[in-house]
Amino acid sequence: MLRWAIAALGGAGLMYLLDPAAGRRRRALMRDKITKYTNEMMEAREGAQKHLENKAQGMVAETRSRLQNEPVNDETLVARVRSEMGRVVSQSRAIDVTADQGRVILRGNVLASEVTPLLKVVRAVQGVKEVENQLQVHEEPGNIPDLQRDTPEALI
């Protein structure tokens, strides 16, 4: 029974593609679709390959940088700290970051729930030797402008 069904479908498919009136157009459409999907698959594979290459290069560069342990200038250190602290602090613009030969000083307003993660992240930044915490800690934002979120209601 299965053989008959396969044979019938195969015959119908051949009739569809070899039809003298519309077969040429159908074959061309099928060829174009196959070409399109093949190209899309190749592009996706190339994109994934490029992504993996970039990730590997980044890991090699980071490892090399960590092993060389070269001193980091203050400007670069501040930029690194700001980049990392933006991941753990809701209002990073409320915090002033300065650096002096590997010593990072944090000043400004911060929520109490964010202090521990912030200090942990800052200490882990490559080039940081010491962290001086001069932050003003608040349990909740209250009326402190630096800690207010930019919500649509706050902008009205």
* 8 A C-beta contact, residue 102 and residue 130: yes
155 pLDDT higher than 60: no
Mean pLDDT over residues 9-36, rounded? 84
Q: 37-83, pLDDT tens digit by residue? A: 999 999 999 999 999 999 999 999 888 877 777 778 999 999 999 99
* 8 A C-beta contact, residue 146 and residue 110: no
Mean pLDDT over residues 77-106, rounded? 91
Among 30, 26, 138, 128, smallest CA distance to 79 is for 128
Distance CA 156, CA 154 (A): 6
124 pLDDT higher than 80: yes
7 pLDDT higher than 90: no
Q: Taking the CB of residue 89, how many other CB atoms lie within 10 A of it? A: 19
